[in-house]
């Protein structure tokens, strides 16, 4: 049983939701059963990395494909492997409120420490619906609750809406996985002093240093067991230090950046292939390449092709951490302004590469471009980029790199520059370039 009372949930969260938390996949056997023993082995493997705690049956755990009994199976396996000494969380979202409550009660009885819940992804169209749905769960459990803000559930809560959720007594914080940096930043700034707010990607630590944001937990992702091995837990070390304000960029660049870039490339490639669905197949095969249990994904997802599996294996193998003592890195120096580029341009020049699709964008970034420019958005012509590419590129580019927008030739009308800048900002671009047929500056502005 959780070692706190309901009214102590927030205090418990501050003390225990720290450092690296992981998201577990649900391994399946070749005959499409839950691999219970594989689940236990995975938990023991992740614990050996020094990870603080874990969540099961989340999106990466394919909860939507599991029957009630299978979700119970997974919970029981995780609880057994955690042995009552390792913090664990159960994701209990369901379209049936009664089912959600039933899962929550089982988790509490099995000794889970907290619950994770997201919108019920059918018939949920307003923030008020989400708030009342979560309130119903809170009224029926003594456990701390982390809300999961993700576009995969059909609605993204605003910072204001998340504030309403956090006003519910045992809602202790938010996994802010909207993939919208502005929402993440606003949520941290407005709620982070009183609740545990976690954006599950490293960019928040770099950007947070500039804005006075100190995220205390990476809650939660799969990067620990995809990037680390027992005896060489570089990612867990780096996250644990970053969560305490020790942001060691040299350590990150030397030990983790190439793995992160490989992950981002495959994440985007797989997600794009399936029109936005989370790349569970890629993550599960990556798990197998790291010696964990994965197995196939369930419909309607598709597994990676044999060719894709071979490519991922060949690209990952040389980047796996080697079993050697990790020399403590030097204390991190302060990070410069976000607009200082990659700080490698001693000549004072920046390299800008124009692109029109994700493949070109990734090639440009990996080739050392300081600015990736998505060109001619407003022209529905061959050679033009699409507005969605801007947000996608910004979402995977390291925070110190720039994403520019070229709007090409625009009509000669007042306010053109202002509209262009506003449009670029809405797409999370860093800068915008505008070409005119004929216009003086005052008129354009």
Please tell me whether residues 300 and 395 are part of one structural domain.
Answer: no
Please tell me whether residues 413 and 303 are part of one structural domain.
Answer: no
Looking at 319, 349, 381, the residue that finishes a domain is 319
Looking at 289, 319, 349, the residue that finishes a domain is 319
Q: How many domains is the chain partitioned into structurally? A: 2
Please tell me whether residues 61 and 172 are part of one structural domain.
Answer: yes
Please tell me whether residues 125 and 211 are part of one structural domain.
Answer: yes
| 333 falls within a domain | no
Please tell me whether residues 267 and 354 are part of one structural domain.
Answer: no
Cβ 282 vs Cβ 304: under 8 Å: yes
Cβ 230 vs Cβ 51: under 8 Å: no
Structure-block tokens of residue 163: 């504030």
Cβ 245 vs Cβ 239: under 8 Å: no
Q: What are phi and psi of 178, to 5 degrees?
A: -70, -15
Please tell me whether residues 274 and 312 are part of one structural domain.
Answer: yes
Closest Cα to residue 149, out of 171, 179, 193, 190? 179
The DSSP annotation for 160-200 comes to: HHHHHHHTSTTEEEEEE-SS-HHHHHHHHHHHTTTSEEE-S
Cα–Cα dist 62/289, whole Å: 19
Please tell me whether residues 274 and 348 are part of one structural domain.
Answer: no
Please tell me whether residues 343 and 309 are part of one structural domain.
Answer: no
Please tell me whether residues 152 and 272 are part of one structural domain.
Answer: yes
| 385 falls within a domain | yes
| 1 falls within a domain | no
| 326 falls within a domain | no
| 141 falls within a domain | yes
| 290 falls within a domain | yes
Please tell me whether residues 111 and 160 are part of one structural domain.
Answer: yes
Looking at 319, 351, 369, the residue that finishes a domain is 319
Confidence at residue 204, expressed as pLDDT on a 0 to 100 scale = 98
Closest Cα to residue 77, out of 92, 93, 101, 57? 57
Please tell me whether residues 314 and 342 are part of one structural domain.
Answer: no
Mean per-residue pLDDT pooled into runs of 10, the chain (445 residues): 90 98 98 98 98 98 98 99 98 98 99 98 96 99 98 96 98 98 98 98 96 98 98 98 97 98 98 96 99 98 98 98 61 43 51 75 71 65 56 60 68 58 64 64 58
> CATH code at 375?
3.20.20.70
Please tell me whether residues 430 and 296 are part of one structural domain.
Answer: no
Confidence at residue 405, expressed as pLDDT on a 0 to 100 scale = 75
Query: H-helix or E-strand containing 431?
Result: strand 431-436
Helix and strand totals (H; E) in the chain:
18, 12
| 325 falls within a domain | no
Q: Is the peptide bond before 300 cis (omega within 30 degrees of 0)?
A: yes
Domain extent, residue 240, equals 6-319
Confidence at residue 290, expressed as pLDDT on a 0 to 100 scale = 98
Confidence at residue 429, expressed as pLDDT on a 0 to 100 scale = 73
């Amino acid at each position: 049983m959780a070692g706190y009372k309901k009214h102590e949930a927030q205090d418990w969260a501050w003390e225990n939701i720290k450092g690296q938390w992981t998201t577990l996949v649900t391994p399946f056997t070749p005959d499409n059963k839950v691999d219970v023993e594989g689940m236990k082995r995975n938990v023991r493997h992740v614990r050996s990395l020094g990870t603080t705690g874990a969540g099961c049956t989340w999106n990466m755990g394919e909860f939507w494909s599991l029957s009630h009994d299978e979700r119970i199976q997974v919970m029981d396996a995780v609880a057994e492997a955690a042995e009552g000494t390792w913090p664990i969380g159960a994701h209990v979202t369901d379209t049936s409120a009664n089912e959600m409550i039933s899962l929550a009660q089982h988790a509490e009885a099995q000794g889970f420490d907290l619950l994770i819940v997201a919108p019920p992804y059918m018939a949920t169209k307003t923030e008020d619906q989400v708030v009342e749905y979560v309130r119903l769960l809170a009224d029926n459990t003594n456990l701390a609750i982390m809300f999961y803000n993700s576009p995969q559930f059909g609605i993204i809560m605003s910072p204001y809406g998340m504030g309403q959720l956090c006003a519910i007594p045992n809602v202790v914080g938010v996994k802010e996985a909207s993939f919208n940096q502005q929402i993440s930043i606003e949520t941290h700034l407005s709620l982070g002093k009183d609740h545990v707010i976690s954006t599950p990607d490293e960019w928040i630590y770099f950007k947070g240093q500039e804005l006075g944001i100190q995220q205390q937990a990476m809650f939660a992702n799969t990067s620990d067991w995809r990037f680390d091995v027992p005896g060489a837990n570089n990612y867990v070390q780096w996250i644990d230090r970053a969560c305490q304000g020790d942001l060691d960029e040299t350590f990150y660049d030397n030990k983790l950046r190439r793995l992160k870039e490989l992950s981002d490339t495959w994440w985007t490639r797989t997600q794009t292939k399936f029109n936005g669905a989370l790349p569970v197949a890629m993550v599960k095969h990556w798990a197998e390449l790291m010696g964990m249990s994965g197995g196939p994904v369930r419909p309607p997802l598709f597994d990676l092709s044999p060719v894709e599996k071979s490519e991922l294996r060949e690209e990952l193998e040389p980047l796996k951490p080697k079993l050697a003592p990790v020399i403590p890195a030097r204390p991190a120096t302060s990070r410069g302004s976000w607009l200082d580029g990659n700080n490698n341009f001693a000549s004072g020049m920046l390299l800008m590469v124009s692109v029109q699709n994700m493949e070109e964008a990734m090639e440009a970034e990996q080739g050392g471009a300081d600015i990736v420019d998505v060109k001619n958005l407003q022209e529905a012509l061959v050679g033009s980029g699409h507005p969605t590419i801007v947000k996608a590129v910004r979402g995977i580019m390291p925070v110190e790199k720039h994403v520019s927008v070229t709007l090409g030739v625009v009509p000669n009308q007042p306010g053109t520059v202002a509209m262009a800048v506003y449009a670029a900002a809405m797409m999370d671009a860093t800068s915008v370039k505008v070409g005119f047929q004929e216009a003086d500056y005052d008129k354009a502005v």
